[in-house]
Amino acid sequence: MAELTWRAHGGARRSTRAWRVRTSAVLVAAVVLAVLVVPPLAHLDEQAVELAVKLQPPSWTHPFGTDGVGRDLLLRCVYGLRVSLLVGVIAAVVATVIGTAVGALAGAVGGWTDRVVMRLVDVFSSVPHLLLGIFIVAMFRPGVWPVVVSVALTHWLSTARIVRAEVLSLRSRPYIDAAVSAGSSRWRIAVRHLLPGVLPQAALAAVLMVPHAIWHESALSFLGLGLPAHRTSLGTLVQSARGSLLAGGWWPTLFPGLFIIVPTLAIAGLAGAWRERLNPRRRSELML
């Protein structure tokens, strides 16, 4: 009886997990379709001002309503998601490259190099990401590239730790000992054996980093330190909606906020499923 109950619980967990993965996949596909297809086909200016319909609630004409100067919020949210997602992907890729290089160097070389590099990682990790990001963007004019640099320089630390741990694990494998016995150089071992072994974990770290990068950009833009106010992004949309909220308009704040939360949770859900597939122990537990 206990075994049957355990198997029933296992089946329920697998069913819930499959439903979550399918939902995340549908949401991610909808996001990609929206940012790639809707703006080119719309032929509309998301900055077009129509004072006659300013701060209108959601309707058939404007499903998300309009903002304080009559701009369509649905179109602005799609354009904002497009910009925020672009910033997040670029920043995640740059941060992953930096973290992979640092982690691989520390794990492959070892010794004092490993100790010095990881102590530097600990030092940077002790500073809150948002505080360090504000310090970085404050040195430049508001724009896309300062935000990308800020996110990349504050989010490579976890990737470095993951890659270093994976490299240390790979170094203990028998085929690495065989390569050393065969006279392979340290550089050849790193390029031919260690780097391909850490690429799946690095790619997963990049995907998991995209939601964090979008949240980081939104926070900086909301504070007025990220993208300029005239550049549509999810953060600038929420920042510009404060006046509308005081005037009784809840929709200029709600819908950009949902566009921040829902896509990032969908991306995180798919990345979580990928992480479970890369973890054999976790995968065996799910099969029970």
Residue 27, domain CATH: 1.10.3720.10
Would you give the DSSP letter of residue 62?
S
Which of the pair, 31 or 39, is modelled with greater confidence? 31
What per-residue confidence (pLDDT) applies to 98? Answer: 92
Which of the pair, 188 or 43, is modelled with greater confidence? 188
Angle between helices 2-42 and 280-287 (to 10 degrees): 120
> Can you give the residue range of the structural domain that contains 232?
2-287
pLDDT in tens, 180-193: 677 666 677 777 77
Under the banding of pLDDT at 50, 70 and 90, the label for residue 39 is low
| Dist. CA 259–CA 241, nearest whole Å | 14
Indicate the number of domains in the chain.
Answer: 1
pLDDT in tens, 104-141: 888 878 788 888 888 888 888 888 878 888 888 888 88
Residue 74, CA distances (Å) to 71, 129, 252, 270 in order: 9, 31, 10, 25
| Dist. CA 287–CA 185, nearest whole Å | 41
| Dist. CA 45–CA 36, nearest whole Å | 16
Angle between helices 129-137 and 144-154 (to 10 degrees): 140
What per-residue confidence (pLDDT) applies to 47? Answer: 67
Under the banding of pLDDT at 50, 70 and 90, the label for residue 278 is low
Residues 61-90: what's their mean pLDDT?
85
What per-residue confidence (pLDDT) applies to 42? Answer: 55
